[in-house]
Amino acid sequence: MASVELHNIHKAYGALPVIHDVSLAIGDGEFIALVGPSGCGKSTLLRMIAGLEEITDGDVSIGGQVVNELTPRERNIAMVFQSYALYPHMTVAQNMGFNLKLSGETKQVIEQRVNEAARMLDLTKLLDRKPAQLSGGQRQRVAMGRAVVRNPAVFLFDEPLSNLDAKLRVQMRSEIKALHQKVQTTSIYVTHDQIEAMTLADRIVVLNQGRIEQQGTPIDLYRQPANLFVAGFIGSPA
Ligand code: ADP
Ligand code: MG
């Protein structure tokens, strides 16, 4: 677990500014939902925390240390996307262990961590299957397993459920919540689905055109939206 802090973050793609002076403190073990309409800068913000996108101005700190100059691997962060991009020729176990193998972990360590993650995510019986033999929900669980085996201090989710059908989304929602509690990481969860945000998060951060409109507990935002934008976004079903 580690805290994550954003200090006056600015981001421009060329001449186009997309993040304007965003500051945010996320506590150890907290589950934050980052919500806002398409194009408001959610993915850009996550990618800067992960080290996948250069920061134009400002600092990102993880566990109290400024990480601007660190590579994604050095930041000890795991990211789960909506397209889970599993290797089709590898088994579930090989997919989950691949990053550990790249880091030079021993076979025993890899096997132990993969088995442990598989138990958490109910994948034990599927370890020898190939991705093509899995359902969409199972594939997404493998993608999460691949992240879990690395014992990340911070989990970043970028709309991980948006490719799944409605019923599966509800089921995966509780699995993500359970996973967060079992692994005890700090989680930042990007979604444009306010129900997902309301049910999962300790705190919701509403982003609009690269600025934070409001942050608070789900119930605070629901009861006391700071403005019409937040009211419209949190109060009405998608
Ligand atoms: P969200 O995830 O909230 O939908 P993004 O962070 O993907 O938003 O995008 C924020 C803004 O930055 C959008 O206007 C988008 O078009 C722009 N953008 C995102 N990535 C790039 C890029 N690599 N190059 C130029 N513009 C980008
Ligand atoms: Mg996005």
Per-residue pLDDT reduced to its tens digit, 66-80: 999 999 889 999 888
Our mutation pick for probing the ligand 1 site, out of 9, 16, 18, 158, counting the most ligand atoms within 8 A of Cβ, is 18
Specify the amino acid at residue 58. Answer: G
CA–centroid distance, 37 to ligand 2, in Å, is: 9
Q: Is the dihedral of CA 199, 185, 179, 123 positive or negative?
A: positive
Percent of the chain with pLDDT over 70: 99
How many CA within 13 A on the CB side of residue 161? Answer: 23
160 Cβ contact partners less than 8 Å away, ≥ 6 residues apart: 80, 81, 82, 140, 143, 144, 172, 176, 189
CA–centroid distance, 216 to ligand 1, in Å, is: 25
Can you tell me the mean pLDDT for 168-197?
88
Q: What is the 8-class DSSP label of residue 206?
A: E
Phi and psi torsions of 8, nearest 5°: 45, 55
* Tens digits of residue pLDDT in 161-177: 887 888 888 888 888 88
42 Cβ contact partners less than 8 Å away, ≥ 6 residues apart: 34, 35, 36, 158, 190, 192, 207
Measuring from atom 14 of ligand 1, which residue has the nearest CA? 39
Residues near ion ligand 2 (Cβ under 5 Å): 43
Q: What is the mean pLDDT of the chain?
A: 92
In sequence order, the β-bridge partners of residue 17 are 12
Can you tell me the mean pLDDT for 17-43?
96
Measuring from atom 23 of ligand 1, which residue has the nearest CA? 13
User: What is the atom index within ligand 1 of the atom nearest the CA of 190?
Assistant: 2
Measuring from atom 24 of ligand 1, which residue has the nearest CA? 13
Answer yes or no: is pLDDT of 180 > 50: yes
Q: What ipTM was assigned to the predicted interfaces of this complex? A: 0.98
What lines the ligand 1 site, CB under 6 Å?
13, 18, 36, 38-44
Edge-to-edge strands, sheet with 4-13: 16-26, 4-13, 57-62, 65-66
Measuring from atom 22 of ligand 1, which residue has the nearest CA? 13
Measuring from atom 7 of ligand 1, which residue has the nearest CA? 43
Residue 238, pLDDT score: 44
Measuring from atom 26 of ligand 1, which residue has the nearest CA? 13
d(CA 150, CA 26): 21
CA–centroid distance, 42 to ligand 2, in Å, is: 6
Nearest ligand to residue 39 Cα:
1
Nearest ligand to residue 18 Cα:
1
Nearest ligand to residue 52 Cα:
1
